[in-house]
Amino acid sequence: MDLLAFFDIAVLDGTVRLGVPLLLACLAGLYSERAGIFDIGLEGKMLIAAFLAAGVSFTTGSVWLGLIAGVLASVILSLLHGLASITFRGNQLISGVAINFFASGITVVAAQAWFGEGGRTPSLSGAARFESIQFPGALTRIRDIAKADLPMKVYSELLSGHTIIVYLCILIVPFVWWTLYRTRFGLRLRAVGENPGAVDTAGISVYRMRYSAVIICGVLCGLAGAYLSTGLQAGFVREMTAGRGYIALAALIFAKWRPWQALGATMLFGYLQALAIRPDILERAIGIRVQTQVLDALPYVLTVIVLAGFVGKAIPPRAGGEAYVKER
């Protein structure tokens, strides 16, 4: 038994890397669902952003253009979701599923037509990819870091060596909290998700609020997807989101639709994923060998526990999933 092993720096570093795309997708879902639009299309939007970010980065040689393209693609899908579920009052779940299927298919077909490499983009290098930012004096190679002492490990591995999106992410949670709870826009956004009728009576357009929410959702999903293919990886591979959009949704429920808790939930889920790839550390920490599948399943198990009401109550926004009808 060595409980300190749970705080292995390499695992914490992995937590940050794996947690960031979950956090961005989770906050994307938070905006959308707080405005009353359920969105299970997070996965599809991340996927299409990952693809276009990698494709455009490779073609233009600039990762920033790739990022913009990825975000745009994600926003377009968001608007499609908005059109179906806000303007045409369609079922939000069905529209979300459709987006996931669409993205899963179109990315492979387009990648094959564009690059002819079997639904992949070529490997990105140089300026076509987000390089990790190294702090002065930090070690860059994992092999050197593994031999370094603790403060150096924390500095080189945990603090230094991430891409710019990760550092921006530190600011994003307070920003989301501030917009939701301290601005007029946030108040209206939350109200639209709870009681759109009241918002409408106050003379504010429900449609406009909901469209702004899905656009923000698209931007954040786009960032998450672009980070996967151009930050964490150097290229797109089909289905590379591998269910992260769904884990982000689980995290959103776990966090009960609140920004700071979303940070905690996504980092916890990221931590579980990072721990799952280090069975040796887990064995050192608790003294017995645990199947990694148990850790992989934990995010979903925890979500079910929360949903079942064992840890407080997870109450979704009251008007969530319902199209707003102005006049009957």
Partner 1 sequence: MTLVTKFLGASAALALSAGAALADPAIIFDLGGKFDKSFNEAAFGGATRWAEETGGSFAEFEITSDAQREQAIRRFAEDGNNPIVMAGFSWATPLAAVAPEYPDLKFSIIDMVVDAPNVQSVVFNEHEGSYLVGMLAAMASEDGTVGFIGGMDIPLIRKFACGYAQGALAVNPDATVIANMTGTTPAAWNDPVKGSELTLAQISQGADVIYAAAGGTGVGVLQTAADQGVYSIGVDSNQNYMHPGSVLTSMMKRVDNAVYDAFKAGADLEAGFNVMGLSNGGVGYALDENNADLITDEMKAAVDAASAQIASGELVVHDYMSDETCPVLDF
Which residues of the chain form contacts with partner 1 (CB under 8 A)? 10, 14, 17-18, 21, 108, 112, 116-120, 123, 141-143, 145-146, 228, 232-235, 237-240, 242-243, 273-274, 277-280, 292-293, 296
CB of 114 to partner 1, least distance (A): 12
CB of 199 to partner 1, least distance (A): 39
Cα 268 to Cα 15: distance, rounded to the nearest angstrom: 8
Ordered DSSP codes for 7-24: G-HHHHHHHHHHHHHHHH
CB of 231 to partner 1, least distance (A): 10
Alpha helices in 2-120 (DSSP H): 9-34, 42-60, 63-82, 92-115
Contacts of 80 (CB under 8 A, 6+ apart): 95, 99
Q: Which is nearer to partner 1, 118 or 174 (CB)?
A: 118
Q: Which is nearer to partner 1, 142 or 304 (CB)?
A: 142
Residue with tokens 């931590």: 271
Q: Which is nearer to partner 1, 185 or 280 (CB)?
A: 280
Q: Which is nearer to partner 1, 31 or 130 (CB)?
A: 130
Burial label for 187, CB within 10 Å (0-12, 13-18, 19+), is middle
Q: Which is nearer to partner 1, 33 or 157 (CB)?
A: 157
Structural contact between residues 259 and 176, judged by C-beta atoms closer than 8 angstroms: yes
CB of 21 to partner 1, least distance (A): 8
CB of 243 to partner 1, least distance (A): 6
Q: Which amino acid is at 194?
A: E
Residue with tokens 């997070």: 42
Nearest 5°: phi and psi at 162?
A: -105, 170
Q: Which is nearer to partner 1, 28 or 37 (CB)?
A: 28
Q: Which is nearer to partner 1, 19 or 259 (CB)?
A: 19
CB of 279 to partner 1, least distance (A): 8
Cα 196 to Cα 318: distance, rounded to the nearest angstrom: 10
CB of 208 to partner 1, least distance (A): 36
Nearest 5°: phi and psi at 324?
A: -90, 125
Furthest-apart CA pair in the chain: how many Å?
70
Structural contact between residues 248 and 266, judged by C-beta atoms closer than 8 angstroms: yes
